[in-house]
Amino acid sequence: MNRLLPIGIAAFIAASLGIFLLGDSGLSAFRGLSRYEKSLEANVESLKQRNQDLQAQLAGLKSDRESTIVLARSLGMHEPGDSVVKLVGRPPRTESYAVGDLLRLRRAEPTRNILFKEAALGAAAAIVLVAFFAAWAARRKANGPSRR
């Protein structure tokens, strides 16, 4: 029984380290979250740049009447008295403005992590059982065959 405790502790530590390093709350998950954070930072920077471009375009629209008219007509607005010509069979106009990319975090399959955790804990339990039976067999051998 004295040998069983260190073997059980070693199996528990091995299973815990396996889960920590490879599980859904371990180092691999931390690396994935770090990559996601970097992609969000890049997205924020691109949105800031787009905001500056739009602010410059807005300032230009406030000061230049012709560019305001051109933009309004591209959005489907017309002044009274304008003649509107619609072309049949032409594909619909694409959207002029798009909001920045929304980056969503993709979580790993939960079944993979559950199976991994169960396998790690099962391996630890198997090691403890093997150690227990090995200690039991060694004690039985040391005590000699029992007579009934």
Q: Which domain holds residue 31?
A: 4-79+107-142
Determine, yes or no, domain membership for 49.
Answer: yes
56-60, 104-108, 137-141, range with greatest mean pLDDT: 56-60
Instruction: Say if CB 55 and CB 47 are below 8 A apart.
Output: no
Read off the pLDDT of residues 79-130 as tens digits, 9 standing for 90 and up: 888 887 777 887 766 655 555 556 666 665 555 566 667 777 777 778 777 8
Residue 51 lies in a domain: yes
Which positions ≥6 away from 39 have C-beta within 8 Å? Answer: 103
Residue 135 inside a domain? The answer is yes
Place of tokens 């709350």: 25
Report pLDDT for 55.
92
Residue 8, in any domain of the structure: yes
Number of domains in the chain: 1
| Residue pointed to by tokens 């800031």 | 48
Classify residue 99: in a domain, yes or no.
Answer: no
Residue 88: inside a domain, yes or no?
no
User: Confidence band (pLDDT; 50, 70, 90) for 42?
Assistant: confident
**Is 114 a member of any domain?**
yes
Q: Please give the torsion angle defined by the CA atoms of residues 112, 125, 26 and 116, in that order, rounded to the nearest 10 degrees.
A: -10
Q: How many CB atoms lie within 10 A of CB 15?
A: 20
Residue 34 located in a structural domain: yes
